[in-house]
Amino acid sequence: MEPRLAEAHLGGLLSQLGLDAEYVRGEADTLWWRRPSGDEVPVVDFVGGYGSLVLGHNHPEIVKHAQEVLRRQVPVHAQFSYHPYANDLALALNRVLWREFDTDEPYSAIFASTGAEAVEVALKHAEMARGARVAALREEIEAHLADAPAELAERVREHNEDRYDAPPVFLTLEGSFHGKLASSVQLTHNAGYRLPFRTLAVQARFVSGGEVAKEVEACRVTLLDVQDGGLVERDLPVIAAFFVEPIQGEGGIHVLDTGVAADIRAAADAGGFPVVVDEIQTGVGRTGAFFASSHIGLLGDYVLLAKALGGGIAKSAVTLMRQSAYVPDFELLHSSTFAKDAFSCLIGSRVVELVEQLDACGRAAERGAALESALRAVQADFPTVVADVRGRGLMLGLEFHDQSGAAGPVGELAGQGLLGYVLAGYLLNAHRVRVFPTASASHTLRFEPSVFITDEEIGQLAAGLRAVCTALRDNPFALLPG
């Protein structure tokens, strides 16, 4: 037997959980699972590429467009040249943003390949902008000191000198998830993902929703200045940005409270730092609006999109930045081999067109209501098993009561954070339904199907969940692999 070299450790865990399925075809919300016998078994997919498949697997219009782009031999690698297709996509996204937020300010676009890379772009740009603000403040203070008495000027310089180089602080909410790259993982609240790499990169502080103003104040660093012959305090720009998800996906499907959103916006406006709205999992129509943050009136200074922007075929991401907060020279310092390539941009533009033409946002709201109704019916029938149902549109979560105190292997698995994956393995093998828990709250199953999910498929999920709940209540051993 040939050695297994591609993530063999993970593959072993998938096998133990009954999740090592090989999928060979996909259409809409169905994946075909090739069994060892060679048979192909249809599975209803509620994972949806972790939010990537708003229009489902291999949507025919996207496939047709991709084939046409390839037939035309459009160059993928034509770096450092004019890319009109990138500008077309940026304009299409701006038009939707202007409509949903009732604004007309342009947002400049920096393209990338993945959501985590879009976060890295935002981190770098925000720090570059903060550095410019620090430099401008230092120059202003030095101009004032030139006219101040020498002894006073020396005192001010001595006080300020080490403070100018204070490292940036990035704020984000408790429960957040913004990726797993060296810097973006520092903004991910789950300590299991973050702490092994804590020495590598940026400083992040995790904020409770009710303590935004308090945390901003705790970050305050002051400089001294001389004005009108006397000493005054000036605030050093320390906070580089506040990152926020309209719905925390990996954190357990928690919808951002409107009041907390308003507090973040107010603190950022007062403190002069940008709000970065991470729409990587929520964007492109999934929640019933193209931008989920429009539901709560939170217009970001930066807006991040990825996942569904690629239509389930391309790898595509973008960081949109309000032009009044944009640093043009950033374009000379940041680049990526596959960013802004013709294939992903042309696919992205077609995705935006289809979302509009098919009223995908309206479909997400209607299909989401049907799915939520089914989930709440399960909760009503099993109140001692299901703790909550929450989310918006087609980004929903079902949270089980904590099972870590239960006797036997189910309690042990729950304590290890594996119960959600055991339930996923049971649903796949016994009911041909594909679901996964959220990464940082494994007792919450998430559901992110396409806007074409049918009542029959929702019914299949509900039947499987009822079986899960019955087993958790009466015979948990029935859920275990084997």
Q: What is the DSSP code (8-state) at residue 339?
A: T
pTM equals 0.95
> Which of these, 309, 314, 388, 360, lies nearest to 109 by C-alpha position?
309
Are residues 358 and 451 in contact, defined by beta-carbon separation less than 8 angstroms?
yes
Which range is least confidently modeled, 3-7, 97-101, 304-308?
3-7
Angstrom distance (rounded) from CA 201 to CA 198: 7
Model confidence at 406, in pLDDT bands (50, 70, 90)?
confident
Using one digit for the tens of pLDDT, what is the confidence trace for 218-261?
999 999 999 988 899 999 999 999 999 999 999 999 999 999 99
pLDDT digits (tens, 9 = 90+) for 412-434: 888 888 899 999 999 999 999 99
Tell me how far CA of residue 431 lies from CA of 49, 275, 341, 425, in angstroms. Answer: 20, 43, 41, 10
On whether the CB atoms of residues 97 and 107 are closer than 8 A, the answer is yes
- SS3 state of residue 28: strand
Q: How far is CA 336 from CA 114, 117, 187, 305, 348, in A?
A: 11, 9, 22, 16, 17
Statement: residue 2 has pLDDT above 90:
no
DSSP code per residue over 38-106:
S-EEEEEE-SHHHHT-TT-BT-HHHHHHHHHHHHTT--S---SS--HHHHHHHHHHHHHHHHHHT----
Q: Is the pLDDT at 408 greater than 80, yes or no?
A: no
Per-residue confidence at 17, pLDDT binned at 50, 70, 90?
Answer: confident
Report pLDDT for 405: 77
Per DSSP, 325 falls in state: G
